[in-house]
Structure formats: C-alpha cells, structure tokens
Amino acid sequence: MADALPAHPRTIIDKIWDSHVITEQNGETLLYVDRHLLHDGSFHAFDGLKAEGRRVLRPAQALATPDHYVPTTGRRHGIPVADYRNLVEGLVANTAASGITHFGMDDPRQGIVHIVGPEQGFTQPGIVLVCGDSHTSTHGALGALAFGIGASEVKHVLATQSIWQRRPKTMRIAVEGRLPEGLGGKDVILAIIGQISAAGASGHAVEYCGPAIRALSMEGRLTVCNMSIEAGARAGLIAPDDTTFAYLAGRPYAPVGKAWDAALAHWRSLPTDAGATYDRSVTIDVSGLAPMVTWGTSPEDAAPIDGRVPDPSAIADAARRESKIRALEYMGLKPGTPLSEIEVDRVFIGSCTNGRIEDLRVAAAIARGRKARVPTLVVPGSGLVRQQAEAEGLDRIFADAGFEWREPGCSMCLGTNGDTIAAGMRAASTSNRNFEGRQGKGGRTHLMSPAMAAAAAVTGRFTDFRRLGPS
C-alpha cells in the first residue's frame, strides 16, 4: 500500500523557513539564524556595533576568514595596499574582541568563505546561513537556506542572531537527462540562466532537482547553487541525500556520535514532500548539452561552444535588443562569429564558483603535457584545497604547463591586488560574473568551466576541451 501524502505537503524551502520563524510583522518574518560567515568586507557591521555599544550575541555561531582583499602572491611580505591591509587587520581585531573563530592569512584553513564553510562542515542541511556576500547561495548545495545580506543586516545578525526577511516565492528547476561526459555544474547553471534569463528567478528561492542534479558531485552542486544569484534568485538549494551526508561526515564542525545520528534523521526529513507545489516550475534537459561559454556582459549571455555570437537584431523587445547591442560593442564581438574563433589574452581558474579540488583536478587534466599560450592564473579556493592539490602534484602539472600557481583568495574574480586584466583584454574565467569592468576597467570576461578555461589557456582561444587530442 502506498504511503499516504502529508496533510499539508511542503517544499524543503518551506520546511526550513517555517522551522526558523520567531515572529511575523507587517508582511515580514524574523528568522533565527543558525550560522553566520564573515569576511574582510564586514567592517561596517563591527563599526556599527561599537557605535551602539553592543556586543556579538553568539560568537560560536559565526566563522570568519579574509578572502576579498588578501593577496594571492607574495603574502609573506604583507598586503601592500593600505586600504586592503586595514580591512584584513580589522577583521583580526574585531573577531578577537568578539570571540569569533577566525582563519587568518597564516592559517591553512583560510580561504574564500563559500569554500571554507562547506569544507569545514560549518554549512549543514536545514539551517539558515547568512553572509555579507551575494554568493552565499552557494551553501544551499548542502540543503541549507543560505542568502547574502547587507552591511546593516550583518550588524543585526551579529547583535541578535536573527534577521528580518520577506518570504520568497518558491521555484523548482528540474534538470532532466544525463549530462554528457566531461560536463559539470558550471555548464548546467550557465544553461539554466541562458534559458530563464538573469532575472528569471527574481523574488524566488529555487530548489534544483532532477536526475542530472542528483548525479552531480557535491562540488558540482556547489557551483550550481553559487550562481543562483546570477538568475536573480534570493537563494538556491538542493535537497540533502547520501552524497551530502558522505561529504559532511568527519568534517570539523559536523556532529559526531549520537548527535550525528540525530542530525541525519532530521536531514532525511527535509526533502520536498510528494504533492508539494511551487509558485513556478521550469524544466531543462541537458542530455545534448555542449560546454557553455558566455559572449556578453551578463551570465544570461551564454551559448554552447559550437554556437555563434547571436545577432541582437533578431530580438523583438527594443530595450533588450539595445542592451545586447551595447554588450557586443563592449566585448568587441560581431554577430555570427563562431565562438570557437574567439581568442583570449588571459585565463583565470579559481573563485568561489570553481576553486575547489575537483575543479583543479579537471583543469590539471587538460594542462598535463601541454603549454599555456596565454598567461594563466590558478588560485585555489582555500589553504586546504591548495594543500591537497600540492599533495596530488597538481601544482607541478600547472607549473610545467606555464600556469601560475597562487595562494587562496577571491583574486581576479573581482579584480583586487593587481589580479586584473587591462582595458580591451579578453579573459576566459571560471568565476561567476562577466559584468563590465568586473576583472578590471575595460576588461572583457567570458565565463566557462575549469575544463574550458584550461583548454583556452593551452590553445589561446575558446576550444571544446573534448576535441583536444592526447597531450
């Protein structure tokens, strides 16, 4: 006999939200916050607390590490830019005064917050997690409701361990089919954003599901959820399963013993109930997907590598047509140009989107036995990722190929500490944003997977990595 449906079927989004409600007023909800991540851009919140004479309420539920403004080379000499140095040193002082755990520049656990949180087991299913950074949606890959917040909200969370939010609509994105060999989370999320647009999930919290999502590794899932914000979503998450549990087991912040058993029982109750409804549902089939690259100045400007730069004149909506014309002018591209003919000047492999060990392994597999034709930076997402890569000899593969092996940080993703491209230069990047000037004033950024970025590095142009012969 089939199990009866719950009386009131709920999505995983609803379950997490409902279990964290403290009170509701004027259409907004005060949510309890389980975990709070801080980085070197969090100084405004600490300054605000000091001005008000307030203290951090629950320091044990926060974790801090500098990432945006740390140098990725010459770190032993300190931070040459005074403003950046003050931010990083300010985080040291503020966390010490507040009793918050801090992974500093000399700590092997330091790295990008959205890589550090999961690898420490600080991110867990069923929690509400916040950070003063838009790509906090990354943590939804482990079944958490995670979202970025502003400076005043960071202060509020530090002081009260809670946050006011308006309940988002729910959206289901089902990814059907079997992902072709060699493709990964970056190809999936670029295909999704290309289909629904950069505003397609605005006002929604998104649950990704379907066989192609389940088949992804945890690191692939983290990549997908990382770029939820690029589709306008408030949050993006994937229901926890055995892949999630295996990933979390034994990590420093993960529960142990009987606490693990209790947590596991709770986590297994989180997936969306049969019969639950969403405000919106979208389906995408990735069975025939080719490696994706972007051609414009928005993540929605994505196309398969075997495609061509589109012609904006075919767009009916006048405002959107003009936007795409401007994008092509900025990018220096002409409609109809085969994407495989676009040459690059720089390559960046790293960021909170694709700076994990799996990403580096994929890139190293392409680099092995080949030589870079353009300058290429490889920036691991954390000190622990760097250690593991070096233990596996990936750093030597990169060095032999002429790739530059760096220390962990956000680096060229947002263009700090000299990790930039010059005006007019074209970069193949594994990061998450290709807006005008994102990697340097006048720089042109194309988003793609680690395999595609490595292929661009060794060929000097956009290249389908699957077509490279033996090294």
- For the chain, the average pLDDT equals 96
- N residues, the chain: 471
Give 72-98 pLDDT, tens digit per residue.
999 888 899 999 999 999 999 999 999
Return the structure tokens found at 202. 């605005």
Give 124-165 pLDDT, tens digit per residue.
999 999 999 999 999 999 999 999 999 999 999 999 999 999
Instruction: Report the alpha-carbon distance of residue 405 to residue 72 in Å, rounded.
Output: 9
Instruction: Report the alpha-carbon distance of residue 128 to residue 237 in Å, rounded.
Output: 12
Nearest to 286 by CA among 221, 192, 182, 196: 192
CB 404 within 8 A of CB 426: no
Give 254-272 pLDDT, tens digit per residue.
999 999 999 999 999 999 9
CB 231 within 8 A of CB 192: yes
Residue 336: per-residue pLDDT: 97
How many helical (H) and strand (E) elements, i.e. helices and strands, does the chain have? 16, 19
Confidence at 218, pLDDT banded by 50, 70, 90: very high
- Percent pLDDT > 70 in the chain is 99
Residues near 445 by beta carbon (within 8 Å), at least 6 away in sequence: 294, 421, 427, 429, 431, 433, 434, 435, 438, 439
User: Is CATH 3.30.465.10 correct for 292-467?
Assistant: no
CB 129 within 8 A of CB 35: yes
Q: Is 2's pLDDT higher than 90? A: no
Average pLDDT for 231-237:
98
Q: Is the dihedral of CA 327, 331, 332, 334 positive or negative?
A: negative
Q: Is 6's pLDDT higher than 90? A: no
Residue 469: per-residue pLDDT: 76
Instruction: Locate CATH 3.30.499.10 in the chain.
Output: 12-280, 292-467
DSSP SS3 for 461: strand
Average pLDDT for 181-207:
98
CB 39 within 8 A of CB 66: yes
Average pLDDT for 336-340:
98
Give 12-37 pLDDT, tens digit per residue.
999 999 999 999 999 999 999 999 99
Instruction: Report the alpha-carbon distance of residue 267 to residue 416 in Å, rounded.
Output: 39
Give 62-72 pLDDT, tens digit per residue.
999 999 999 99
Confidence at 1, pLDDT banded by 50, 70, 90: very low
- 3-state SS record for 205-240: EEEEECHHHHCCCHHHHHHHHHHHHHHCCCEEECCC
Q: Is 250's pLDDT higher than 90? A: yes
CATH of domain 12-280: 3.30.499.10
Burial of 241 (0-12, 13-18, 19+ CB in 10 A): middle
Q: Side by side, which strands form the sheet with 101-102?
A: 101-102, 62-64, 35-38, 128-131, 145-148
Give 93-126 pLDDT, tens digit per residue.
999 999 999 999 999 999 999 999 999 999 999 9
Confidence at 5, pLDDT banded by 50, 70, 90: low
Average pLDDT for 307-314:
96
CB 209 within 8 A of CB 239: yes
**What H or E segment, with its residue span, contains residue 366?**
helix 357-367
What's the predicted TM-score (pTM) here?
A: 0.97
